[in-house]
Chains A and B, each alone.
Chain A
Amino acid sequence: MVPPLTLEYAGRSMTSPPALPSASAPGARGELLASARLFVEVARLALRRQLAYRAAAFAGLVTNLFFGLLRSSVLLALLAGQDSAYGLGARDLVTYTALTQGLIVYLSLFGWWDLMQNVYRGDVATDLMRPMSFYGFWLAQDAGRALAGLLMRGLPLVLAYALFFPIVTPTSPTGWAAFLVSLLLAGLLSFAYRFLVNLAAFWSPDARGIGRFAFTIVGLLSGFLMPLAFLPGWLREAAGFTPFPHMVGTVVDVWLGKLQGAALARALCEQAAWTVALVLLGRWLLGRARRRLEIGGG
């Protein structure tokens, strides 16, 4: 005869999943849910905060559009009657200016100083005193801000372009999906980089110089100021060893359909790898910054 204990055990394992300690299973899931909820709430409020400044957003949109047209005409002049330059035709070039101008706010391409200011004002102490992930909190805030940038600046700008110019768009659902993935990764990568740069504030009493340098580099090597194809060979190759081309260049190439199949998969994987690397580096450096604060004082 089977011992009753085994029977009971068998009976239970039939109806419910393997016995995890009952306290930790819902606890861990609840913890995750609560964190996700907090992330969404913080992002939502950051989004709302941006949406409040509609007039400013409209003025910004007009400016972006104006400079976009200016950049288009310069690039078209460069073609000088030829069909294409460095593999980019007239339509590609116009589309390129639309996309890069549309990404300015989403990626904070002109610089982002929020965390730095937070450190210098001393508000960082308040954030550290809250039972939440400091990195996650800033990521959530930036996600809301970036989403507002897409909705209020990026999307209208590209639509305005599309009304007046024959721009290139992704042609297949796969193309659109790849673009969205690349766009999301670029946003994360850009945040991870900006966060790292801003962390300098923990070490330097005025890290603005470092910041300006760091953001200028992005403009040059990401493919924002000019298409990466226009860079001298050696510089383009050097840029290939940095995360910068994956902030703007990759997104544009995916939209234009310049990357297909294996090349596309490889580009997205590289983009993801750089994102993971910079996030990890940022979290590690944040730990160091915090320890410095704890030991060295305010």
Chain B
Amino acid sequence: MIEVEHLSKHFTLRAPTGGGGALRSFLSRERRVVRAVDDLSFRVGAGEIVGYLGPNGAGKSTTIKMLTGLLVPTSGDLRVDGVVPWRARRTYVARIGAVFGQRTTLWWDLPVIESLELLGHVYRVPPGRLRSNLREFGELLGLGEFLHTPVRALSLGQRMRADLCAALLHDPHLLFLDEPTIGLDVVAKERIREFVRRVNRERGTTVLLTTHDLADVQKLCRRVMIIDHGRLLYDGDLGALQDRFGGERRLVVDLAEAADVEVEGARVVERDGPRVTLAFRREDVSASDLIRRVTERHAVRDLSVLEPDIEGTVREIYEKNLLGA
């Protein structure tokens, strides 16, 4: 579906040369090159849902802009369905859909239904198909209650649902979701995820998801790509990512009476009265061995094991640039 090879996008900025400010930088020929995307290669198969992660400014949206045909790469190859996006813009964009959580793609002061019908004309969706898609998506997303409300009067959750429907009316092969759950409450997030999962399963729509909400990734994607400084840091299974970089597990012990806990393979990270938290690595010691070692030496009232969450894993990757080394 998506084939990307050695893709790069460099921007040239006029370098501010200190003192003299704007005029100097305007006159000077000094340039600074920003490598927003640098030698990126990956493939996405039809029907996949791939999470595309990275800290702010990592090059995510530059990649998306190239994939949607808005930006022309500096070098490298990019094909979607065999088409080079910016070469055949009109035919290409008819086959993709996009939802940008931060802004709506609907017309601000029109009722939702009018925006959707207009999009039907824009994408030349056959009337029968438009009707059946509207019915199906309307039901799944619960659009009925606000179909005749102007977009500007919708709540964020309603707007996002309307945007999702709008992005899928023309049966795109590929769907870009950029922060589709940003600012939503838990129930609304879950509803959107369920919908995306369903569209992917029933229609085989390929989905590329960029988000900072790792719960989205966890619930939707089997595969993740992590990008930083324009380079791909990781591309693979979400589970493997956690195994490899999952960091430490925790054992929380409630002792019968406060004491110093010292066990092989683990270290104390927190002490709060009789509660002691130990950190340990999967490869050093198993949870059951560690528990045995603790209970052999101390009287224990209660125990619990905490698995590292993906949030922590990704934070560690961003902060320490674990994969770049």
A-contacting residues of B (Cβ < 8 Å)?
9, 11, 36, 62, 65, 68-72, 86, 89-91, 93-94, 96, 98, 100, 103, 105, 107, 109-110, 114, 117-118, 121-124
Contact = CB atoms under 8 A, between A and B. Distances in A.
A29 interface: no
Interface residues of A, number: 24
B70 A294 contact: yes
20 contacts: A34-B121, A41-B118, A125-B70, A126-B100, A126-B105, A129-B69, A129-B70, A129-B96, A129-B98, A130-B122, A131-B91, A132-B122, A294-B70, A294-B72, A294-B86, A295-B71, A296-B11, A297-B11, A297-B62, A298-B65
A131 B122 contact: yes
Given A38-B122, A41-B118, A131-B93, A49 B110 contact: yes
Given A49-B110, A293-B71, A298-B71, 18 more contacts: A38-B122, A45-B118, A52-B109, A125-B70, A126-B100, A126-B103, A128-B70, A129-B93, A129-B96, A131-B90, A132-B90, A294-B70, A294-B72, A295-B71, A295-B72, A296-B11, A297-B9, A297-B36
Contacts of B117: 41
Given A34-B124, A297-B36, A49 B69 contact: no
Nearest to A39: B121
A129 B68 contact: yes
Contacts of A38: 121-122
Contacts of B123: 130-131
Interface string A22-57: 000000000000100110011001000100100000
B118 A42 contact: yes
B56 to A, nearest CB: 15
B253 to A, nearest CB: 52
Contacts of A128: 70, 89
B103 A123 contact: yes
A49 B150 CA distance: 11
Interface string A124-141: 011011111000000000
Contact of B71 (A49, A132, A297): A297
4 A-B pairs closest in CB distance: A131-B94, A294-B72, A38-B121, A126-B105
A122 B100 CA distance: 12
Interface string A143-181: 000000000000000000000000000000000000000
Most interface-central of A42, A121, A294, A297 (chain B CB within 10 A): A297
Contact of A45 (B72, B93, B110): B110
B36 A41 contact: no
A38 B94 CA distance: 15
Given A41-B118, A129-B93, A130-B122, A293 B70 contact: yes
B250 to A, nearest CB: 43
Nearest to A128: B70
Interface of A: 34, 37-38, 41-42, 45, 49, 52, 121-123, 125-126, 128-132, 293-298
B175 to A, nearest CB: 13
Contacts of B109: 49, 52
* A interface secondary structure, majority: helix
Nearest to B71: A294
Contacts of A123: 103
B179 to A, nearest CB: 14
B149 to A, nearest CB: 14
Nearest to B65: A298
Given A45-B107, A122-B103, A131-B93, A37 B72 contact: no
Contacts of A42: 118
A218 B50 CA distance: 53
A142 to B, nearest CB: 15
Nearest to A34: B124
Most buried by B among A34, A52, A122, A126: A126
Nearest to A49: B109
A121 B104 CA distance: 11
Contacts of B9: 297
A38 B70 CA distance: 23
Contacts of A49: 109-110
Nearest to A137: B122
A233 to B, nearest CB: 41
Contacts of B110: 45, 49
A119 to B, nearest CB: 13
Contacts of B98: 129
A218 B70 CA distance: 34
Nearest to B117: A41
Interface centre among A42, A52, A123, A132 (most CB of B within 10 A): A132
B180 to A, nearest CB: 15
A149 to B, nearest CB: 17
Nearest to B96: A129
A241 B109 CA distance: 40
Nearest to A121: B103
A297 B36 CA distance: 10
Contacts of A131: 90-91, 93-94, 122-124
Nearest to B170: A131
Nearest to B66: A294
Contacts of B121: 34, 37-38, 41
Contacts of B93: 129-131
A262 to B, nearest CB: 44
A37 B127 CA distance: 13
Nearest to B107: A45
Contacts of A37: 121
A125 B93 CA distance: 12
Nearest to A295: B72
